[in-house]
Each structure stands twice: as C-alpha cells, then as structure tokens.
Amino acid sequence: MREPLADRLRETGHKITGPRRAVLHVLETAGQHVSPAEVLEQGRAIYPALSRATVYRTLDLLVDLGVLRPVCTGARGSQVVFVEGGHHHMICLDCGAVIHFDACAMDDLGQSLAERFGFQVKSHMLEVYGRCEDCQKKMHATAPSPASSSPPRKGG
C-alpha cells in the first residue's frame, strides 16, 4: 500500500496547504491517469480558489520526489501516474486512443532481472504502439479495391 501523499510531503519538509490538500485528494482518488486540467477541475470542487499554478507546482514536486511520473497518452496529452507498480497501455498511432490492460509479462521479467542482477524492481511502464481496431476497420473501408487501383490502359 502506498504512503499517503500528505505524509510524503511533510517528511520532505513541505507544507500541506488547503489548495495542495485538494490536489492530493484528487490524485489519491483518481483512476489510472489524471491530467493537470482534470486535477484543477476536480480540485476546485474541493477548494474553489485552487489555481492552475498550484496544480502544476504540486505535480512537479511529486514528480521530483519520485512519487508520480508524467506520461503522454495520445490525444489526452500529458498526464501523471503513480510510479509504484506497473503501468500498461496500448496507444493508437492514428486516433490516439489509449487502451489499458493489466496482464503483463513484465512481472515475470522483473522477477527474472531481480534474481539475475540483484536488482529490486519497484515499477515499470509498458507502452505498445499500433493501430486500434476501429482505425483498422476505417483503413480497410477506405482502401481502394485491387481492380480500381490498377493503372489506366493506354491506347485501344
């Protein structure tokens, strides 16, 4: 179980202000990914005077402390995720769709690396890039048929 974010900040000498507490609450209750804009919107429901600058400063601080890491998830832009544990998604190169998945061979590989090199694995991130099912269907639907793609004949 992960240490509460407020405790982590206090341990490193940082104050827990009302605005910062709102940011921390959003992060601790959010799903897999959260964008700065989402943190701001949800945080303002808790602390209406929350500023965009406080959100970015707090996120940057948590990245510097090694608690969060930034990720770019296609069309949704920059987001943050917790460093602890594994994180896996497939990203469509055409539409930017992000598909999360839990099954990951990295768990076995991480164990193997730990045993082989004496390395203690704490986290990993796996991103697979390609084309989603919808974009594949669109691509096949708009592709010219073989007969229509042949060059025109010359003469008669």
Going from N- to C-terminal start, the domains of the chain cover 1-83, 84-137
CATH number, span 84-137: 3.30.1490.190
Q: pLDDT band at 152, cuts 50/70/90? A: low
Q: pLDDT band at 85, cuts 50/70/90? A: low
- Supply the pTM of this predicted model: 0.64
**C-beta atoms surrounding 8 within 10 Å:** 17
Residue with tokens 């469509």: 92
Q: pLDDT band at 146, cuts 50/70/90? A: low
Q: pLDDT band at 51, cuts 50/70/90? A: very high
CATH number, span 1-83: 1.10.10.10
Task: Please state the rounded mean pLDDT for residues 38-59.
Answer: 96
